Amino acid sequence: MSWIKTIETARLADEGVACAEAAGRRIAFYEVEGEFFATDDLCTHGRAFLSDGYLDGHMIECPLHQGLFDVRTGAPCGAPCTEAIRTYPVRVEDGVLHVMVEEG
């Protein structure tokens, strides 16, 4: 696993959520009250991109069936979602988000 440089934090300014590719994976990034989080971008229920969803506090709502996930833990928090999404460590360097993802 290694730190991978992705997108500038400014990309999250408007909606608090954006996506980028890292090590061949689509990763959704979130900013909540000045903290940054990262998860897989694909919903485990409806196969929709969470980065197209609505972020409310620490909850991301899937745009397909309105299921909820906690972006801090990946835990499902609202039906119909029952399977967690994967989370990733995030750090900021010079205004750029880096995510730790298994390469390969």
Tell me the per-residue pLDDT of 37-88, one tens digit each, with 9 for 90 and over. Answer: 999 999 998 789 999 999 999 999 999 988 999 999 999 998 899 999 999 9
Report pTM.
Answer: 0.94
- The pLDDT score that the predictor gives to residue 104 is 57
Q: Does domain 2-101 have CATH number 3.40.440.10?
A: no
pLDDT tens readout for residues 14-24? 889 999 999 99
CA distance 95 to 78: 33
- The pLDDT score that the predictor gives to residue 14 is 86
Domain locations along the chain: 2-101
Burial class (CB in 10 A: 0-12, 13-18, 19+), 71: buried
